[in-house]
Amino acid sequence: MKPRNETERLSNPYNDDKVMAACSIFGMMDISGKAVPGGDVIRAIANMHDRSNGLGGGFAVYGIYPEYADCYAFHVMYPNNETRSDVERYLIKSFAIVHSEEIPTQPAPHIQDPPLVWRYFLLVDSDQRGEQSEEEYVFDRVMTLNTSFPGALVFSSGRNMGVFKGVGYPEEIAHFFHLEDYKGYLWTAHGRFPTNTRGWWGGAHPFSILDWSVVHNGEISSYGTNRRYLEMFAYQCTMQTDTEVVAYAVDLLVRRHGLPIELAAKVFAPPLWKQIDYASQDERTLLTMLRQTYSSLLLNGPFSVIIARQGEMIGLTDRVRLRPLTAATKGDLLFLSSEESAIRLVCPDVETAWTPMGGEPIIGRLRESLPLPKENLEVAVA
């Protein structure tokens, strides 16, 4: 058996500083809301093993905590128990803690020195939040926790959903967190091959704030501009990787500014000015306003992302489509993947499979919560 460093060398035989086409993303959603176990998602992301290098893997699962569906589920990493005690004193002052526990884990190959990982199910007291909305109150507390307690990181903070991530191949992270024992109606997964930042537990994907989670393949070369714009709205980037800005940007546009996800996609990957010039007058006016208002949130660089929140899964590539994304459906199931082979491994008889156009969002929604037009009830192509 080759030493681990030799195995990693074989993932990059030419010893390039960057392997630009790497990272794997996968998403599966049952739009009927049926909770499915994670085995197929784990097998699918493991099928793209060679797209990652063991420096990051992770999963987001929706519908995972039905018994605590009204609570905000905080997943928190700690360097030690002293920091945990400090954070828990802050949580007691800020929330009603319904339940807390260490997240169950087990030894996994090659995973070394993991942090302490706990979860807390929290309710917001209306007297404490004052005039703030619940979500804005929770957002403020997450930002405070991630900037005021050295070594502590809230990496998941939504309701009835959870992020599980760390340093390792995604199948190793799944084993570490017992993810085969969890069920959810929406799963996303990521295998990381870092190109610009080091591999560390907080820097693994998905990135999440409130109900939003994002997995990403590519490079956000506009990170500096995006980050400075988001900081004007009190978003603090603490996870040392470019993908974090995508999670915060979609939260700002959709939750705070009220844009539908279809228009948020036009901010991230807008049509070229030449294309806007040929649009109808109303569309040209709208697209021009979006580009002028949110020019600092345009995502430059090659990317494909899967964005998720309660009841919705969105796939999007950059407008030139420099990173791969395949979509497929079968019955109530919607799949998004870096490679079609991963989809066909777990669903050999898909009914439809296609390659979205650059900048064209693929949107899957729960039928009962967010109905789509009758002519396209299951999957929207905006």
Q: Output the six-digit token pair for 213.
A: 């989670």
Q: Which of 23, 71, 237, 347 is catalytic?
A: 23
Q: Output the six-digit token pair for 278.
A: 């040929």
- Residue 27's region, left for phi above 0, alpha for psi from -120 to 50, else beta, is beta
Q: What's the gap between Cα 25 and its chain centre?
A: 10
Of 187, 205, 193, the closest CA to residue 243 belongs to: 205
Question: Looking at this protein, which amino acid is placed at residue 359?
Answer: G
- Residues of 192-208 as b/e, b for ≥16 C-beta within 10 angstroms? bbbbeeebbbbbbbbbb
Q: Measured on CA atoms in the order 60, 63, 66, 71, is the torsion positive or negative?
A: positive
Classify residue 338 as exposed, middle or buried by CB count within 10 Å of its CB (0-12, 13-18, 19+).
Answer: buried
CB-CB contact of 44 with 189 (8 Å): yes
Size (the chain), residues:
382
23 is annotated as an active-site residue: yes
Taking the C-alpha atoms of residue 161 and residue 283, their distance in angstroms, rounded to an integer, is: 36
| Catalytic site positions | 23
